[in-house]
Structure 1
Amino acid sequence: MQITAALTEDKGAEFTLTPLELDAPRPGEVLVRLVGSGVCHTDLIVRDQWYPVPLPAVLGHEGAGVVEAVGANVTAVAPGDHVVMTFNSCGGCRTCVSGRPAYCDQFFAYNFAGTRIDGSTPLHRDSADIHAVFFGQSAFATHAVATETNVVKVDRSVPLELLGPLGCGIQTGAGAVLNTLHPPAGSSLAIFGAGSVGLSAVMAAVVAGCTTIIAVDLNPQRLELARELGATHMINGGEGDTVARIQELTSGLGVDYSIETTAVPTVLRQAVDALNQGGTCGLIGAAAVGTEAAIDMSVLLFGRTVRGIVEGDSVPRTFIPKLVELYKQGRFPFDKLIKTYPFSEINTAVADSEKGVTLKPVLTFD
C-alpha cells in the first residue's frame, strides 16, 4: 500500500514527507494506522547519527493508532483495536523471559538496525529498500508495520492521539521511579532535568508517595510546571551550588534517590554527589556513544549506586495500561506535557522541541 512517511535522508537533515510503499504484515506482524506519534529525543539524536542507524530511514517510535490488519498467528490484537507501539524485543532471550525486555540480548538489532532481523524492510521507494522498523515501528508515517510483541492494546475511552509517548519517553520517566527505584512512601528524590521524561518521574514520585521531590532545571517555566505536577522543591541549576542546596533541603544528608535525564556528564556527577549514603542514582539520559563522566570513587564507596535505566524497566503490556488507568483517575496527568502538531508540521514540532518551547510534541494524522 502507498503511505506518506517523514523520511530522514541524511545526517542532520530535515524530515521530508515522502510517498513510500509499505508491505502487508507478515506472520506475527501488525499493520497500524497512525493517529498520533510522539517526537522523542532519541529520534533526533539518531537523525544526527549519535547512534549509527543507517539512513535514509523512517524514524519515530512513540506511535499510537488503530490496527487495520494482522498477519498470521497474531492473537493479542485484532483489527479495530486501539494500540500503543513501544520498543521491540526478541521475547525469547534470557532477559526477555525473565521479564526484562528492555535489556533484550538483541535490543540494538531489534530497535536500531533499520531492518528486520532477517535483513528485510517493509518500506520501499521506487523498488529500492528504505530503512524502517525503527523500534519495531517507524511511526513517523501514516501507517506502520509493527509486531505482536511491541503493540499494547489500550482502553478505547482515552484519547488515542495522546497515548503514543507512553511507549517510550513517559514510560521511561515513570518506570524509573515505579519499576526501578521503588522509593518507599516518605522518601526523597531529586530529578535532574524537567523535560517530559523528568516530569513523568515527578508525577510517578507523587504516585509512589515520595514526600521530598526536588526538580532541577535551567528553565523557570519547566520548574513551575514541576511544582504544578507535585514537586515539593525547585532548583535552578544555573544559580548557585545545586548539590549544596539539595543537602540543605535534606538536613545535610542528601536524597535517597536521584534521576539524571540530561545526558550531561557534569549533571550526572551532581546527581551522584547529591545522594545520601546508601542512595541510588538512576541514569536515563542518552549520551553519544563514548561519552565519559567523572565520578568520585570515594563517594560511591559508601554504599551509593549508579544504575542505568532503559525504557523504565517496563514490561509494556502491563505497565502502559497501568499508566492509562492512573491518567483516567487524574493521578498521572501526562497530557499537560503534550502539544499536538499536524503531521505536515513535523519540522516545526522538532524545532520547538529542540528550542525547549514544547516539552512533548505529538504529531497527529488526519
Structure 2
Amino acid sequence: MPVVSAAVAVAKNTPLEVKELRLDDPGPDDVLVRIHAVGVCHTDATVLQVDAFPPPFPAVLGHEGAGVVEAVGANITHVRPGDKVALSFGSCGKCRECSQGHPAYCDEFYPYNFFGVRPGDGTPTLFDGDTPISGHFFAQSSFATMSLAHRSNVVKLDDDVDLDIVGPLGCGLMTGAGTVRNVLKPDEGDICVVYGIGGVGFGALMMAKALGCSTIIAVDLNEDRLALARELGATHTINGAAPDLGEQITELTKANSGVDIAVDTTGLATISKTAVSTLRRGGRLGLLGFYNQNGEGMDVAAIPLGSYVYGVVEGDSVPAEMVPLLVDLHRQGKFPFDRLITFYELADINQAFADSHAGTAIKPVIRFPRS
C-alpha cells in the first residue's frame, strides 16, 4: 500500500489536518492517480459544515483532482500509466439515467460519491495506520498526493494539458458551463442572468458568452468579482444587495419581455423568486445551489407560462465529453477559467477554504510538489 500525504477532515466544522495515510492497492475498477493539483469546491465546504451530508468522519475529501495515472486495475482500458487525467464524479454506468447519457442523475450517485468506500463491495480505500477511514469521496478523495479513482470518473487528457489548472473542470466549472450548454441551451443573441459569481457562476457566464448570448447580467455581492465578470463576458453587473434588483433586471430586459435563461447558484429563496419573476414567457431557469430556507420556497404560480425551472446537478454533463470540450474552449480563448484560480500548498488548505468563504479567492487550487 502506498503512503500518501492527505488533508483529513477529522470531524464536522473543524480544520483539516495533514496526515500520512495508507492508500489501498488498485482493485479491478480502480485507477491509481498521482495528484498534481486539486480544486477546492463549495461542495467540500458544505460537507464539512452540514450534518445531513455523508460521509462518516474522519474523511478525506477533494473531488476536482488532476494528475498522472500510476497504475490501473484489470478492468481499465481507457487509460494507462503515464496518461494525464482529470477526475470528476462517479456513476454506475448501468442504470437508466446513465444509459441515456445523464450520469449526474445516476440511481447510485450517493453510493458512488458520498459513502466513503468503494461502491459494490464496500471496501475502504484509505487507512490511518490499520484503521479504515472514509475515502473514495466523489470516487477519488483527491485532497491527497495520490488517489484511487473509479473507472467512471477518470477523463483522459491530451499530453499538453496543464495539470495545475484543469482540475476544477471536473466539477464546479463543469456544473456552471454544463447547465448553460446542456440544459438551458441558449440561442445566439439570448439574454442570460447569472446569480452568484463564484466558480460555478463564472462557468455559466463564460459558457453563455461562448455560445453567443448578447446580454449577460452578473449578480453578486462582491464588487471585485463583478469587475472580473465584466472582463470575462458580462455586459452588465448588479450588486445583489440592491433592493430593486428585480426592477433593474426587468428594465434591462424589457425590450425582450424578460430573461431568456438564468442560472441561480446562490441557494437563496429570495434570489430564486427574483429569477423566476424576471423570466420571459418560455424562459428557462437552472437552480444549482443548496436550498434550505425553513420551508420558504418558490411560488410555483409565479412561473411565467411556458417557462421551465430545472434543478441541475453537475451541469447534466458526461465528464468524458464535457471536460475535453472545456479544455478546447480554453485553448481557443473562449473559456479563460485560469483567470479564476489562486494557488495554495497542501499545508495551507484551511486558508484556501477561508479565502473561498470570504470571497477573496474564486477558485482555490491546491498544488502538490513534484517528485
Scaled to the shorter chain, the TM-score interval is over 0.9
Alignment of 1:27-66 (within 5 A): 27-50=28-51, 51-66=53-68
Shift of 1:103: 0.2
Match for residue 136 of structure 1 among 133, 136, 139: 139
Distance 1:256 1:292, change over 3 A: farther
Alignment of 1:17-96 (within 5 A): 17-50=18-51, 51-96=53-98
The corresponding residue for 1:204 is 207
The corresponding residue for 1:148 is 151
Q: Distance in 2 between matches of 1:301 and 1:197?
A: 26
Between 120-129 and 95-104, the greater mean CA deviation after superposition: 120-129
Report SS of the residue matched to 1:250.
helix
Report SS of the residue matched to 1:186.
coil
Match for residue 250 of structure 1 among 248, 253, 264: 253
| Contact persistence 2:23–2:127 (CA under 8 A) | yes
| Contact persistence 2:164–2:367 (CA under 8 A) | yes
Distance 1:291 1:18, change over 3 A: farther
Q: Distance in 2 between matches of 1:135 and 1:97?
A: 20
Between 237-246 and 168-177, the greater mean CA deviation after superposition: 237-246
| Contact persistence 2:269–2:298 (CA under 8 A) | no
Q: Distance in 2 between matches of 1:44 and 1:237?
A: 22
Shift of 1:296: 2.5
The corresponding residue for 2:281 is 277
Q: Distance in 1 between matches of 2:242 and 2:47?
A: 32
Q: Distance in 2 between matches of 1:53 and 1:129?
A: 13
Shift of 1:82: 0.4
Alignment of 1:309-328 (within 5 A): 309-328=312-331
* 2:62 counterpart letter in structure 1: G
What's the TM-score, normalizing by structure 2?
0.96
Report SS of the residue matched to 2:66.
strand
| Contact persistence 1:177–1:201 (CA under 8 A) | yes
Report SS of the residue matched to 2:54.
coil
Q: Distance in 1 between matches of 2:278 and 2:338?
A: 30
Cα RMSD for the two superposed structures: 1.2
Shift of 1:49: 2.9
Shift of 1:304: 2.3
Q: Distance in 1 between matches of 2:54 and 2:87?
A: 22
Shift of 1:240: 3.0
| Contact persistence 1:268–1:293 (CA under 8 A) | no
The corresponding residue for 2:353 is 350
Q: Distance in 2 between matches of 1:166 and 1:152?
A: 11
Shift of 1:286: 2.3
| Contact persistence 1:269–1:293 (CA under 8 A) | no
- What runs of 5+ residues in structure 2 fail to find an aligned partner? none
The corresponding residue for 1:294 is 297
Match for residue 219 of structure 1 among 219, 222, 226: 222
Q: Distance in 2 between matches of 1:209 and 1:291?
A: 38
Shift of 1:312: 0.7
- The answer to whether structure 1 residue 15 and structure 2 residue 16 are counterparts is yes
| Contact persistence 1:278–1:305 (CA under 8 A) | yes
Q: Distance in 1 between matches of 2:247 and 2:183?
A: 26
What's the TM-score, normalizing by structure 1?
0.97
Shift of 1:52: 2.9
Shift of 1:336: 0.5
Report SS of the residue matched to 2:186.
coil
Between 292-301 and 1-10, the greater mean CA deviation after superposition: 292-301
| Contact persistence 1:207–1:331 (CA under 8 A) | yes
Shift of 1:264: 1.3
| Contact persistence 2:175–2:313 (CA under 8 A) | yes
* 1:250 counterpart letter in structure 2: T
* 2:29 counterpart letter in structure 1: G
The corresponding residue for 2:272 is 268
* 1:307 counterpart letter in structure 2: Y
Report SS of the residue matched to 1:163.
helix
Report SS of the residue matched to 2:260.
strand
| Contact persistence 2:281–2:304 (CA under 8 A) | no
* 2:112 counterpart letter in structure 1: Y
Q: Identical aligned pairs, as a percentage?
A: 50
* 1:282 counterpart letter in structure 2: G
